[in-house]
Amino acid sequence: MPNAAPTHRPLAGKAALVTGGSRSLGAAIAKRLALDGASVAFTYASSPGPAKEVVAAIEASGGKGLAIRADAADAVAVRAAVTEAARAFGRLDILVNNAGIAILKPFAEVALEDFDRMVAVNVRGLFVATQEALRHLADGGRIIHIGSINSDRIPFAGGTLYVLTKAAVAGFTKALARDLGPRGITVNNVQPGPTDTDMNPASSEFAKSTRQHTSLQRYASTEEIADFVAYLASPGASYVTGASLAIDGGYAA
């Protein structure tokens, strides 16, 4: 179910950048932040069509949207995207590190190339975007990582490499919160459980067994995760930092 436009816009006057925002969860986050009043830039790796659709949706709701082509594994492109977003809106208040990939296979079959690609996108890209954003991020800003509940619980085989990267994000969140606390910048890690995305559709064979691990016996919608991200970006979450927060339907209960 799509989000209804809020009557109160807690992010009015703010500017946000969402990495990997052209589809699925990233698109839901970008559109949700715009509904709350933020001007939203987002990156995409390829296929400009979906990116244009997200911008159109943001503008249709009265917001400002900007699509920037940048592969999360390309440090130069990521840095340039952050700079472009800050220049376009004249400021940067919120960074959502959503870009990520998943390679699931038995550990013995994981190639070094798999490792390099996963770390490049899920860890190195997040690190680069965050460090570059700090050149522009206002005091009292928000940094929100999209991790995974699988860094806490992994009830299936084949997730070693994915979990390694998401556990790194959880640790990075705690340490970075200490560094940035004096500036009033909060750093948090959203850990979704099974969510209906392009990478993990609720209609797949994998989902049939996975949903049984949740207390609610269902997958989350991307809008439900986006609502949680919007809360962390809001003034109401100003005292939440250094936390890895589960939104998992009881997956880790």
Nearest Cα residue to 243 out of 194, 193, 178, 182? 178
Q: Which residues pair with 186 in a beta bridge?
A: 142
**What pLDDT is recorded for position 3?**
52
Give 163: exposed, middle or buried? Use CB within 10 Å, 0-12, 13-18, 19+. Answer: middle
> What's the DSSP call for residue 4?
P
Number of H helices, E strands in the chain: 8, 7
Find tokens 């606390």 and name the residue.
181
Q: Which residues are catalytic?
A: 162
Q: What is the DSSP string of 74-85?
A: -HHHHHHHHHHH
| Cα–Cα dist 146/173, whole Å | 11
**What pLDDT is recorded for position 14?**
98
Q: What is the pTM of this model?
A: 0.96
* 92-97/39-44 β-pairing: unpaired
172 neighbors 151 (Cβ within 8 angstroms): no
Give 248: exposed, middle or buried? Use CB within 10 Å, 0-12, 13-18, 19+. Answer: buried
**What pLDDT is recorded for position 47?**
87
> What's the DSSP call for residue 23?
S
Phi, psi of 137 (to 5 degrees): -65, 130
Token pair recorded at residue 113? 């190339």
> What's the DSSP call for residue 43?
E
Contacts 24+ apart (CB under 8 A), 178-182: 178/242, 180/134, 180/143, 181/241
| Cα–Cα dist 234/190, whole Å | 14
Query: Could you read off the pLDDT tens digit of each residue along the chain, which spans 253 residues?
Result: 445 555 689 999 999 999 999 999 999 999 999 999 999 999 999 989 999 999 999 999 999 999 999 999 999 999 999 999 999 999 999 999 999 999 999 999 999 999 999 999 999 999 999 999 999 999 999 999 999 999 999 999 999 999 999 999 999 999 999 999 999 999 999 999 999 999 999 999 999 999 999 999 999 999 999 999 999 999 999 999 999 999 999 999 9
Domains of the chain: 15-246 (3.40.50.720)
| Cα–Cα dist 139/113, whole Å | 38
170 neighbors 126 (Cβ within 8 angstroms): no
